[in-house]
Chain A
Amino acid sequence: MGHCMNHCDYLSSRSILFSSKLHSLKSNTFRLFSGSSNRLGARKAPSFPAALKLRPWPTQFGRLENPSYRANTVRSEQGFSGEVLGKALPRVGKRADLKKIMILGAGPIVIGQACEFDYSGTQACKALKEEGYEVVLINSNPATIMTDPDLADRTYITPMTPELVEQVLEKERPDALLPTMGGQTALNLAVALAESGVLQKFGVELIGAKLDAIKKAEDRDLFKQAMKNIGIKTPPSGIGTTLDECVDIANEIGEFPLIIRPAFTLGGTGGGIAYNKEEFETICKAGLAASLTSQVLVEKSLLGWKEYELEVMRDLADNVVIICSIENIDPMGVHTGDSITVAPAQTLTDKEYQRLRDYSVAIIREIGVECGGSNVQFAVNPTDGEVMVIEMNPRVSRSSALASKATGFPIAKMAAKLSVGYSLDQIPNDITKKTPASFEPSIDYVVTKIPRFAFEKFPGSQPILTTQMKSVGESMALGRTFQESFQKAVRSLECGYSGWGCAKLKELEWDLDQLKYSLRVPNPDRIHAIYAAMKRGMKVDDIHELSYIDKWFLTQLKELVDVEQFLLAQSLSDLTEDDFYEVKRRGFSDKQIAFAIKSSEYEVRQKRLSLGVTPAYKRVDTCAAEFEANTPYMYSSYDFECESAPTQRKKVLILGGGPNRIGQGIEFDYCCCHTSFALQKAGYETIMMNSNPETVSTDYDTSDRLYFEPLTVEDVLNIIDLERPDGIIVQFGGQTPLKLALPIQQYLDEHKPKCASETGNVRIWGTTPDSIDAAEDRERFNAILKELKIEQPKGGIAKSEADALAIATDIGYPVVVRPSYVLGGRAMEIVYSDDKLVTYLENAVEVDPERPVLIDKYLSDAIEIDVDALADSHGNVVIGGIMEHIEQAGVHSGDSACSIPTKTIPSSCLETIRSWTIQLAKRLNVCGLMNCQYAITVSGDVFLLEANPRASRTVPFVSKAIGHPLAKYASLVMSGKSLYDLGFTEEVIPAHVSVKEAVLPFEKFQGCDVLLGPEMRSTGEVMGIDFEFPIAFAKAQIAAGQKPPLSGTVFLSLNDLTKPHLEKIAKAFRGLGFRIVSTSGTAHVLELAGILVERVLKLHEGRPHAGDMVSNGQIQLMVITSSGDALDQIDGRQLRRMALAYKVPVITTVAGALATAEAIRSLKSSTVKMIALQDFFNVESEAASSKTFTTVQRATSA
């Protein structure tokens, strides 16, 4: 089962946070627009006395809040009083009155709030522990490093609702709460706790940002007023509740285009850009209708303005520094998280930059963020430099994470230290060690960040970028020039590009109109449209006119096309050393060069190396080389001097996971970090290589050395050549490094490089690439299973449509179809008939001998099991955890809820699973982790669905559930240790129950259905732990944002396949006192069974229909499974989307419905208790040691 969360909606998050405020706005909407006379009125308003008395000259941006100045000015009005000046200097320094601090995490990964908050939370935990504070942490996301039990003193993996956090506060009684590390989730939670008086009740102080400051920054109206106070412009806008009001606002703003954003709708439904009066009225009407509160925001469009961001830090002594300036290549109109961004800002003169700096400093002071980091976004008119401030985040944000990685300045760590009283100059710069943190980083390279999207996962949604963030991850690259960093960032994305251009792109085939559209309307592939347009000879000026992308960037790109044109006319032998340097300095990869000169990547590399053209690694040091820095945070360039200075120690190279995407996210970063920690402890020097700025792994202090580099064959081989590590670890970063395993192995076989520690050759550690291949290659794998007598669902490989139909007929429908070698269930579908199979083959994938399609029997109603196991090189295998999925087989394991230990599986089946897993691990010579998926049919037959000899998505969850860090063990095993050395010899079956639940991003993708299927679409996960399954399940549901209702009405609509279960579900809910509502088909079945049901019309049958009931709040829970009937399908989809919009929990599977009923039953009879992770294991280690299960099998041959 999966649920949607929506945290960072442009408008709605603010609206939700201050919904009461929004309602009250109706009366004072026009206050904003009434010009200067009103301003005088505002000056007298009691809410801003300080700001107004103090500023005699409104346009100043100096030290407005400067304490000594304040004292002086006050005195000038009141006469001298003497003691005020004595207080002028704030007391700073570490606070001794705080002992215990609570940190709020960000909860599950959702779009707009990804693992950057694991990075910030982890840094905060470390920093506060380092200062000797006791740290209590709350985060519902088990895949985070910060929820490792040893990072905080007390770790609560629990739902993050105000009521439940209150319980934790009551239990732990912390002195302070730090809410600025966990994104919008934490901030909203802190506001709720502060406003309800809970913080006051328990005497908890908010540190890092005060309530007033949070409100001033988050509430649009207060923010605008604050900006007005200090004379900084904001885009003119207003909130209207009727069409007339909207028109008034439009008149006030005075010019088109106007942006209309309805409040309280998801994904900007009903919003848009109006270019004329008619359009404006149409969109406003639609927006008012779509908005739950009948409110729309009308805003002046700044489309095409340049967008900048400044990262600001302030301490309690009122020192302010700017950490980084960021320029967005995509101009205003695209959410900054979806924009390609560059640091430092490239197209500002000093005067312009200092103006933004002055503004940022004034803003952080006016908003009143006492200490910590903030992010301020500006729009700058490219034709006259007019500046408007767009928004400010009074917390550590995604941009802060980016700025930290871009400059080497650890913003989150510093913010944590500032929150406990330090001033910036009291903290040493982490990198130079000698200079203070109170400075502004200067960088001598260019950083480019490019977002990564997943529109292909959400059919029905339009791949268009707007002010609502849709990207699921990002890659960052550093280079000495923009071109170098840009090309590296493009190839870091792993979207099949080895750089920008020099490839056969679909855009090259487009006609001019299509290209122009793609340039004009921002979309994920716009940069490739720019390439195609340039190849066609379109001028930089024309591209600028269409896209508003600054010409500076376009000219840089144009030069890359010129270089490509040059290369196209060359052959490999023509290229000189100088040529290579020139081309490589522009970021071209060997693969791109090979494409242009019609050679192979291999040959290009050989030639390049023979000319001595190798990358020089530069260090990131926050100070542009002004001071010595020993922190080995490096990036490649083709400059003269290499600063990497590799050591001769025993060392390992860990390949990270690259940009986050659906199916490969924070879980793999967790594994990489754990590997680094464990091997460091075991005496190895660890070298991390990754390109994802959001992660903990790319923190410069996670590993001994960090290379911020694309994860491609070329870049990895360069580092292998340079570092010559003892081992290379490819198992932990997901598919990204696994795909590199074979080429790396080939290279190692061919060149046999000696490792730098002189203890042998460089090797890939862990399961060999050959074994990995054996598990992934269908035919090899089938042979092994046959040999081991392991059952798997019937299936076959189809190389043509005829093949496919034949196989399907042979094994019988329903079947699961998917392309071979898939990631995260890409394009996987369950098909029930020949027609559908043909449609699938025609639309979803191409089938030919090169790209075969796999067809397997779909096991209806089977229970799916996930197993994580650990094997050492001595032949020992231990089961890490057996997870029972709540949803039936067929829902991608990443999207389905699961529990440890299993709940309903007979022990005979578990025995089969254990024995098969162990046999398979041994047969595949697994060294490290292996994940297997099984299906158990209703009749109790076990089938193996899949085996992956690598770390899986579930490793962090299992580790936390059983209290053993599996990834750490796995890395030690790979270094040669046996499981006996580690003392991990038995499967641990915990006495408590852990439930994992997936979180899905459907709200962000208009128009796509919310049904779960074999294609993975969740972005994150939450965990619920308790001693009873129903409560653990309920906790997971609440954490995922779908609090089960305790009473009310359930809407049931089941398709024919699931109708047999209808009676059971209905009875369960009736038993809990729920009313049941259904449409004709379902109601008929229920009536036959004698169950009381109310009938309601289907959406297409007339009104009032089910949708009306949803919008009237008459339905509290919906259970809808998909239906075969086309009309019903449209209906069901619309209904599910409506439920999403009105935040009614939707359950789309039978198992999920039953589990929910059980959870409701438990919630009604007992209260949810908050238990710290540490407590589960302390209790169990005493009581439950006898419960462990002996599953280790001694190696027979070793």
Chain B
Amino acid sequence: MTMSLTLSIPLTCFVPKDSSVNSPRYRVFTVTCSSAIGTPALGLAERPWKVSDARLVLEDGSVWKAKSFGASGTQVGEVVFNTSLTGYQEILTDPSYAGQFVLMTNPHIGNTGVNFDDEESTKCFLAGLVIRSLSISTSNWRCKKTLGDYLAERNIMGIYDVDTRAITRRLREDGSLIGVLSTEKTKTDEELLLMSRSWDIVGIDLISGVSCKEPYEWVDKTNSEWAFNSRDRETFHIIAYDFGIKHNILRRLASYGCKITVVPSTWPASETLKLKPDGVLFSNGPGDPSAVPYAVETVKDIIGKVPVFGICMGHQLLGQALGGKTFKMKFGHHGGNHPVRNLRSGEVEISAQNHNYAVDPASLPEGVEVTHVNLNDGSCAGLAYAAKNIMSLQYHPEASPGPHDSDYGNGNPLFTYMLKCDDDLLKRVKFLLYCYSGLSVCQPIFFFFNLSIYCIKFID
């Protein structure tokens, strides 16, 4: 049973550029949603495998024969590879992947099916999934559905039986490539290639497509089964700007006892400040930070008034708001094994990463400190600006998927970086006092990375 429908998916608001003249064009793609295609009963002599029925055409001109699963149709997106060995479901539902084809380097995907605990948002925002081998069965006590069914229901295209390593090597050499994925036989390779070459992700506001539309309160904590750190002491009020926020950030904050209000990306700074939060979080999100000048303005209006914290896109927006520049990386960081050094403590964390843009630390103004560095390529992985109570991380301390190294387990709220960063207690205390007196909000000192009871005791 197949039904065909035309829908305007969030991606249709992109401004594709023509390969030669960069003239803006709008495009609506047809996505055919099909229910799970049951394998026809096989006679013994029939081939017990599916024949190739899909193509992935990359802008470098390469055409990859593949087999489709999930939805069918034609889709265009930026191909990025992710080296995580686990967590495909979290990746599928991470809004930061909007507009991208995620290629998983781990060959077997779908082994544990999907469940309803491991979602990072309510939807799948990515453009498609490229994998080496689709699991023919699932095995996990939490599994509720197969990956194929799940993607089909959500209109996401997937392909398998492609040499993902070969594509990864191209991405590594050439940088992220635009690709077109199609199950439509009527389209020629040339057409698809043209399509890929007339599309660009740079400068496109993907955030408005993934952000929530109205503010809401978040209450869910990390499920006790998976809880690795938790704390129920003080309650802090946090406003989280949703640029495509991963639910685990919210769950972790809630687990640490925070009261969270999630607001849309366009939520005015003045409204935020009116609520007198203990801190503001700028979340992760998809695409190019330069494409959302309004968000940068919001950040500018908030910093210095309330302690702020940024993750991923939030980090980049903070970088821009502080006057720094962001640039597109060759192929970005996508995976769960990136070593990051905390420059003040010297410790190395294995971190979860997912970003294509980075902050150029050289462009940052005086006083802003690079606190974390990605050891693989030396890129900036964290910033702090003590004078304005700013702290941000390029990577994902909330993990999901990924290691929990960055979720420090000493009872403090999620992002206890200042604790980790300050190697000199006096300095910290001075800083605290400064924060204390300098803040118009006479709340107990909350620095996001709450400085835990003893500090407060000390100040008292």
B348 pairs with A442, CB closer than 8 A = no
**Which of the candidate stretches B78-86, B122-130, B151-159, B357-365 sits at the interface with the other chain?**
B78-86
| The one of B375, B402, B454 that contacts A354, using a Cβ cutoff of 8 Å | B402
Contact partner, A62, options B137, B139, B229, Cβ 8 Å: B229
> Can you list 18 A-B pairs, Cβ within 8 angstroms, ordered by A?
A62-B409, A63-B408, A82-B425, A89-B346, A349-B87, A354-B86, A354-B404, A435-B375, A438-B375, A444-B106, A444-B132, A444-B165, A445-B107, A562-B48, A566-B44, A626-B172, A626-B335, A628-B172
Complex CA gap A358/B406 in Å reads 12
Tell me if B1 counts as interface (CB < 8 A to partner A): no
Complex Cα distance, B341 from A566, in Å, reads: 54
Is B182's CB within 8 Å of the partner chain A?
A: no
In whole angstroms, how far apart are the Cα atoms of A352 and B90 in the complex? 13
Verify if A73 is at the interface (C-beta below 8 Å from B). yes
Among residues of B, the one whose C-beta sits closest to the C-beta of A434 is B376
A89 pairs with B45, CB closer than 8 A = no
Given contacts A317-B347, A625-B165, A626-B168, contact A351 B44 (CB under 8 A): no
CA distance A1067 to B226 in the complex (A): 73
**Across-interface contacts of B135 in A (CB, < 8 A):** 552
Separation of A344 and B337 alpha carbons in the complex (Å):
14
> What separation, in Å, do the CA atoms of A1160 and B85 have in the docked complex?
59
Q: For the complex, what is the distance from the CA of A616 to the CA of B164, rounded to whole Å?
A: 13
In the complex, what residues of B have CB within 8 A of residue A640's CB?
A: 64, 162-163, 166
Nearest to B143 among chain A residues (CB) is A349
Please pick, from A434, A481, A578, A641, the residue contacting B108 in the complex, using a CB distance under 8 A: A481
For the complex, is B420 an interface residue (Cβ under 8 Å from A)? yes
B47 within 8 A of A: yes
B residues near A61, Cβ cutoff 8 Å: 228-229, 404, 409
Chain B nearest CB from A266 CB (Å) reads: 37
Q: Which residue of B lies closest to A441 (CB)?
A: B337
Instruction: List residues of chain B with CB within 8 A of the CB of A350.
Output: 84, 86-87, 89-90, 118, 400-402
Chain B CB within 8 A of A425 CB:
yes
Residues 427-444 (chain A) with a chain B CB within 8 angstroms: 434-436, 438-444
Contact for B105 among A59, A349, A352, A442, CB less than 8 A: A442
Contacts of B13 in A (CB 8 A): none
Q: Contact: B403 with A627, CB < 8 Å?
A: no
Chain B residues whose CB sits within 8 angstroms of the CB of A444 once the complex forms: 83, 105-107, 132, 164-165, 168
Tell which of B64, B87, B348, B453 has the most Cβ of chain A within 10 Å.
Answer: B348
**Interface size of A in residues (CB-CB distance below 8 Å):** 91
Contacts of B85 in A (CB 8 A): 325, 344-345, 353, 442-443
Task: Report which of B137, B228, B339, B410 forms a contact with A436, defined as CB distance below 8 A.
Answer: B339
* Chain A contacts for B84, CB-based, 8 A: 350, 442
Decide yes or no: A481 and B133 within 8 Å by CB, A60-B229, A425-B375, A566-B48 being known contacts: yes
Tell me the dominant secondary structure on chain B's binding face: loop
State whether the Cβ of A556 lies closer than 8 Å to any Cβ in chain B.
yes
B333: shortest Cβ distance to chain A, in Å? Answer: 9
Q: Which chain A residue shows the least CB distance to B113?
A: A349
Which one, A559, A565, A627, contacts B136 given CB within 8 A?
A559
Knowing A63-B410, A357-B404, say if A627 contacts B376 (CB, 8 Å). yes
B115 CB within 8 Å of chain A: yes
> Are B400 and A439 neighbours in the complex by a CB distance under 8 Å?
no
Chain B residues close to A by CB (< 8 Å): 42, 44-49, 51-52, 64, 81, 83-87, 89-90, 105-108, 111-112, 115, 117-118, 132-133, 135-142, 162-166, 168-169, 172, 225-231, 335-339, 341, 345-348, 350, 375-376, 399-404, 407-411, 419-420, 423-425, 452-454, 457-458
Neighbouring A residues of B346 by C-beta, 8 Å: 89, 317
Q: How far is the CA of A862 from the CA of B386 in the complex (A)?
A: 88
Complex interface: chain A residues within 8 A of B458 (CB): 80
Which residues of A are in contact with B by a Cβ distance under 8 Å?
56-57, 59-64, 66, 68-69, 72-73, 75-76, 80, 82, 85, 88-89, 317-319, 321-322, 325, 344-355, 357-358, 382-385, 423-425, 434-436, 438-446, 480-482, 540, 550-552, 555-556, 559, 562-563, 565-566, 568-570, 578-579, 582, 616, 618, 623-628, 639-641, 643
Are B341 and A425 neighbours in the complex by a CB distance under 8 Å? yes
B337 A442 Cβ-Cβ under 8 A:
yes
Q: A80-B458, A317-B347, A443-B106 are in contact. List 8 more A-B contacts (CB 8 A).
A: A62-B408, A85-B423, A346-B111, A354-B402, A552-B111, A556-B136, A566-B48, A625-B169
Q: Is the CB of B408 within 8 A of A349?
A: no
Q: A439 to B133, alpha carbons, bound, how many Å?
A: 26
Chain A residues, Cβ within 8 Å of B225: 385
Bound CA–CA A570/B43 (angstroms): 13
Top-4 shortest CB links A-B: A62-B409, A350-B87, A552-B139, A641-B166
Contact A351 B117 (CB under 8 A): yes
Given A76-B454, A639-B165, A641-B165, A552-B137 contact (CB < 8 Å): yes
User: Which B residues are CB-close (under 8 A) to A383?
Assistant: 141
- Inter-chain CA distance A616–B163, complex, in Å, is 11
Report how far A383 CA is from B350 CA in the complex, Å: 30
| A1103 CB → nearest B CB, Å | 56
Check A563 against B403 for contact (C-beta < 8 Å): no
Specify which chain A residues have a CB less than 8 angstroms from the CB of B453 in the assembled complex: 76
Most buried by B among A345, A354, A481: A354
The smallest C-beta distance from B390 to any residue of chain A, in angstroms, reads 22
Q: Could you tell me if B47 and A482 are in contact, using CB atoms closer than 8 angstroms?
A: no
* Partner among B46, B136, B350 whose Cβ is within 8 Å of the Cβ of A555: B136
A445 to chain B, nearest CB (A): 6
Asked if B411 and A57 make an inter-chain contact with CB atoms under 8 angstroms apart, the answer reads yes
The residues of B that contact A628 with a CB separation of less than 8 Å are: 172
Partner of B141, one of A319, A385, A565: A385
Please name all residues of chain B whose beta carbon is closer than 8 Å to the beta carbon of A345 when the two chains form the complex.
85-86
Instruction: Report B-chain residues with C-beta under 8 Å of the C-beta of A434.
Output: 376
A425 to B458, CA, bound (A): 35
- On whether the beta carbons of A626 and B111 are closer than 8 Å, the reply is no
Are B86 and A68 in contact (CB-based, < 8 A)? no
Given contacts A382-B141, A439-B338, A625-B165, contact A64 B409 (CB under 8 A): yes
Contact between B107 and A353, CB atoms less than 8 A apart: no
Which of A325, A358, A626 has the most CB atoms of chain B within a 10 A radius of its CB? A626
Contacts of A385 in B (CB 8 A): 141-142, 225
Q: Are B375 and A626 in contact (CB under 8 A)?
A: no
In the bound complex, do residue A355 and residue B228 qualify as a contact, i.e. CB atoms below 8 Å apart? yes
Residues of chain A contacted by B132 (CB below 8 angstroms): 444, 480-481
**Given A550-B139, A626-B81, are A349 and B89 neighbors across the interface (CB < 8 Å)?**
yes
**Which residue on chain B has the smallest CB distance to residue A429?**
B376
Complex Cα–Cα for A68 and B376 (A): 25
User: Are A319 and B172 CB-contacts (below 8 A) given A444-B107, A639-B166?
Assistant: no
Q: How far is the CB of B40 from chain A (nearest CB, A)?
A: 13
A354 / chain B contacts, CB cutoff of 8 Å: 86, 228, 399, 401-404
Chain A residue with Cβ nearest B171: A625
Bound together, the chains give a CA A540 to CA B81 distance in angstroms of 34
Are A72 and B142 in contact, with the CB atoms below 8 A? no
Q: Smallest distance from the beta carbon of A389 to chain B beta carbons, Å?
A: 16
| A565 in contact with B165 (CB, 8 Å) | no
B172 touches A627 (CB 8 A): yes
B44 cross-chain contacts in A, Cβ below 8 A:
565-566, 568-569
Structural contact, A559 and B48, CB atoms closer than 8 A: yes
Question: Which residues of B lie under 8 Å from residue A481 when comparing CB positions?
Answer: 107-108, 132-133
Assess whether B45 is in contact with A569, with CB atoms less than 8 Å apart: yes
- Interface centre among B51, B133, B339, B411, by most chain A C-beta atoms within 10 angstroms, is B339
Assuming the contacts A344-B106, A438-B339, A444-B106, asked whether A349 and B142 have C-beta atoms less than 8 A apart, the reply is yes
